[in-house]
Structure 1
């Protein structure tokens, strides 16, 4: 993987472990020669990932909607900063520029990005690994809910493995490297669904 889209919050939680983990991810990716594609912000976990990757000599590509750039939250020190019209263009560019996705803790926007990456993988818009870095058990409930959706029958057996999970970067990257694409919905017939 040459570039990974990193989805994470623009907030700065009181628990500094989240910022420290985001910094470790940015630095860790840069030291492995993996470029970071992210939301283009300078605040919160986003800024921590970008700054640490840049400080370690890594490539950082930000993708930010015009409205957020106008709110002065854009990170102007990125290797490249793409300004797009809306969130749809932003997420499409994340997908086009990256070889996989890593989700760090975040809020509603981060959840939107995670579920869209998984949904697009199920359908067949991409077959890239979607990783969840479960820092401090942040995603425990979401991981259980994803398993519940599969148990009930709303996630097909062949799509259960799209979400790749680990609690440390080395483990997650290893699983993402070994990820084997699944049969997409676009390649199925009605009887398979």
Structure 2
């Protein structure tokens, strides 16, 4: 069993297909016997992945800053909910707790989390697998940009090789599990 950290959107105004994607990932995490590490929210894709994980039998561990608890968006159904003083501590705790990371579609906060975990991996602060779930080509533009800046030597090729990509939930977990075995 591994602790899988999931980064994703917490917006409450998303198309149902994105909520379904998050729920399905959560169910599969649980079905495969893993624990979910999330941002501790109960709304948007973050809430959907946690609900799915519990439906699949997973233990859920959430990390949320007090400012978001005050907005009443905390996942109070989490098996363990850690409340922090701020977003920086939240990210650090998530990185420490998770064995691997999957990034679902999201906005600025999601990208911040992805780049933080990716940068710390490049600095050899951890060797945890990270995967970008590019459902429906959501991250196509970002991946094209990253390939472009890599060819211009702004990003090292070994950094790009660290980022696993997939388009489907099952394949995503297959890749993460294989990377965990190989780590």
- Which range, TM-score by smaller chain? over 0.9
Residues 12 and 70 of structure 1: CA distance in aligned 2, closer, same or farther (over 3 Å): closer
Residue 110 of structure 1, CA deviation: 0.3
TM-score (norm 2): 0.94
- Alignment match, 2:163: 163
Asked whether the equivalents of residues 14 and 44 of structure 2 are also in contact (C-alpha less than 8 Å), the reply is no
Residue 155 of structure 1, CA deviation: 1.3
Residue 174 of structure 1, CA deviation: 2.4
Pair 1:151 & 2:151 matched: yes
Residue 173 of structure 1, CA deviation: 2.1
Residues 70 and 13 of structure 1: CA distance in aligned 2, closer, same or farther (over 3 Å): closer
C-alpha separation between the residues in 1 aligned to 2:155 and 2:37? 28
Partner deviation per Cα, 1:102-157 (whole Å, 9 max, x = no partner)? 00011110010011111111111111111111111111111111111211101112
Residue 175 of structure 1, CA deviation: 2.2
* Larger-gyration structure (1/2): 1
Q: How does 1:22-171 map to 2 (within 5 A)?
A: 22-171=22-171
TM-score (norm 1): 0.89
C-alpha separation between the residues in 2 aligned to 1:145 and 1:126? 25
Partner deviation per Cα, 1:62-118 (whole Å, 9 max, x = no partner)? 000011111111010001000011111111111111111000011110010011111
- Alignment match, 1:187: none
How many equivalent residue pairs? 181
Q: Secondary structure at the match of 1:81?
A: strand
Two-structure CA RMSD over aligned residues (Å): 1.3
Structure 1 alignment gaps of length 5 or more:
182-193
Pair 1:8 & 2:8 matched: yes
- Alignment match, 1:173: 173
C-alpha separation between the residues in 2 aligned to 1:162 and 1:135? 19
Asked whether the equivalents of residues 4 and 36 of structure 1 are also in contact (C-alpha less than 8 Å), the reply is yes
